[in-house]
Amino acid sequence: MTTDDTELVRILDEDGAVVEGADVPDLDDETLLGIYRDMRLTREFDRKAISIQRQGRLGTFASAAGHEGAQVGSTYALADDDWILYQYREHGAVVVRDLDSSYLEYWMGHERGNAALADDNVFPLNITIADHIPHGVGMAWASKLKGEEKAFVVHFGDGATSEGDFHEGLNFAGVFDTPTVFFCNNNQWAISVPAERQTASATFAQKAEAYGFEGVRVDGMDPLAVYAVTRDAVEKAKSPEEDELRPTLIEAVMYRYGAHTTADDPTVYRDEAEVERWKQRDPIRRFEAYLEGTGRLDAERAAAIEAEIEERVAAIVEAAEDAERNPAEMFDDAYAELPDELRTQREAFLSLLDEYGDEAFLRDH
């Protein structure tokens, strides 16, 4: 598999300077600072979530560090009524769509936090690899049949390309010309499997050719490049030119700094020197350098943004932990009608809650 940077769409180099000949998106200062703020918010939310997970206050968590440019940049390219279907690591997309404490509640084990995402046109989080890809294609097809002008952006990792759902979804999208943007977050590792063991193709983007539509490879740690590529894909999804299919497969080349999840130990399968090399491309540092170089950001404003973000994340954590708990809700959405065995378990569980009280039971069990 190639990692040749010459194939990547790139606007900013590793030092945050505009690449010669690059077409910089025409975004106003407020939007550019918004992208910066949301990238930093994503990083801080990620850092805090891992911290409280280590303290036993949160369930298993998937880190997004290193992915901020791809997640935030791509979401800024969408209209509010476009849909996002994500895997489980795209916290930056949720940040742009107005992160609040309900999202953290989901990671604490409360399903209502997952359901709340739909209010912001975000499909509920998907743990099963690639299962949401056919769902996204189906939603896009239904929207097209209704005559709507919406795009459906489906995020997944490079490991998802080895699943049957990936191939079925992309094939259907090509045949039925659905307004779908497939966003492959190639972070080099699907848990412990490197990208070169995931496919014999030179790139993931070129897989689109087999389904009859365009594939694009972009520097996923360059938020401006991701924005531009996603914007173009969304425009094509909604209003393709003659003889042009609506779908696009975007391969965003990036790196996962941390563990696959908090249950993983990446030191077992990768070299720390590799991590440090990729950190030289850090999306936040690069974008910050660009904003400083163009006079849009200075140390005082950056410090104010940092303070604002820390305060917001602290408030989100506090609100999530103070939210009312009803642990019996774990049974509500497993089946339309509970099987007898689970009904028996629920009744036994409810009796324990009555005996101990919710707070005491959660504390002691």
Strands (E), the chain: 83-85, 122-123, 152-157, 180-186, 189-190, 193-194, 214-219, 248-253
Active site residue 269: yes
- Cα(70)–Cα(68) distance, rounded to whole angstroms? 5
Contact, 71 vs 156, CB < 8 A? no
Burial class (CB in 10 A: 0-12, 13-18, 19+), 240: middle
CA-wise closest residue to 39 among 92, 101, 86, 94 = 92
How many helices (H) and strands (E) the chain has is answered by 13, 8
Q: Which of 256, 257, 286, 290 is catalytic?
A: 256
Which pair of structure tokens corresponds to residue 254?
A: 């990036």
Q: Which of 54, 269, 277, 343 is catalytic?
A: 269
Active site residue 346: no
Q: Which of 246, 260, 281, 286 is catalytic?
A: 260
User: Which residue is it, tokens 């030179």?
Assistant: 202
Q: Enumerate the active-site residues.
A: 256, 260, 269
